[in-house]
Structure 1
C-alpha cells in the first residue's frame, strides 16, 4: 500500500501523504511517529463544510483504533467551489508500520450531509517492505 491516497466523494477530493518522523520516534521504547498532510479540495459547484472526522488506524499487529471528533485541527472549514484546505497532523504507532483510512462528515450549503472518503494509505518506514 502506498504512503499516499486520493478519493473523490460528491466533488470533495481528499488527498493524503504520510511520512515517518525519525526525530520524534523512539523504536527502543516501541514508538514510531508518522505525520500526514491532508488536502481537501472542492472540485464541484456547491459550497460544503467539514463538520467532523472519523479515522480508522490499524497498527502492524492488526490492532484497530478509531478516532472521531469535531472538525480537524480545531477548525470546521467551509469550502466554496474551487477552494482548498490543507493541514498536517500526526499519528504515533506501537509498531513500525500501519495503515489509516476514514471519512470526513460534510454538509452542503443546502443541508445535505455525506461522508467524504479518506482512501487507505500506509504508515511505514522509508524503503521498508511489509
Structure 2
C-alpha cells in the first residue's frame, strides 16, 4: 500500500491482479485498485474531479480525466473516510499509475489539488 498526504487529506492505494480476467496471450492484464481517502483537515471537502496518468511497460501512456470517482462526488467532513474500488487493464505485465483529485472546501470554495501517490501494477509472477 502507498500513501500520500496533501493539505491534511490522506490518500492510500492498494492493488490486486486478477488472473481470472486476464489473458497473457492476448496481452490483457486486469488489475483493481482500492483507494482510501481520509479527511484529516479541519474543513469539509468535496471530491470534484480525478486525473490519472497510466503507464505500461510497452511505453503506452494513457491520461484519464473526469468528474468524481465511480460515478460519485463524495463530501467528506473532517475525520471522514471514503473508500472505493476501480480497475485498470494493461497490455503488459507491469505498469504504474499516479494522479490527483481536485477537491473543494465547502466553507469558502477554495479548490485543492490532492495527490494520488504513484503505485505499481505488477503481475505477481514477475516479482520472482
Settle same-fold status: TM greater than 0.5: yes
Q: For structure 1, which runs of at least 5 residues remain unmatched after alignment?
A: none
**For the aligned residues, what is the CA RMSD?**
1.2
Aligned to 2:22: 25
Once residues 36 and 59 of structure 2 are traced to their aligned partners in structure 1, the CA distance between those partners, rounded to angstroms, is 27
Aligned to 1:122: 120
User: Of the candidates 74, 78, 83, which is equivalent to residue 81 of structure 1?
Assistant: 78
Once residues 76 and 126 of structure 2 are traced to their aligned partners in structure 1, the CA distance between those partners, rounded to angstroms, is 36
How far the C-alpha of 1:127 sits from its partner, in A, is 4.6
Worse overlay, 47-56 or 119-128: 119-128
Q: For structure 2, which runs of at least 5 residues remain unmatched after alignment?
A: none
Give runs of aligned pairs for residues 1-130 of structure 1, distance below 5 A: 4-109=1-106, 110-129=108-127
So what's the TM-score if we normalise by structure 1? 0.94
Once residues 61 and 129 of structure 1 are traced to their aligned partners in structure 2, the CA distance between those partners, rounded to angstroms, is 18
So what's the TM-score if we normalise by structure 2? 0.95
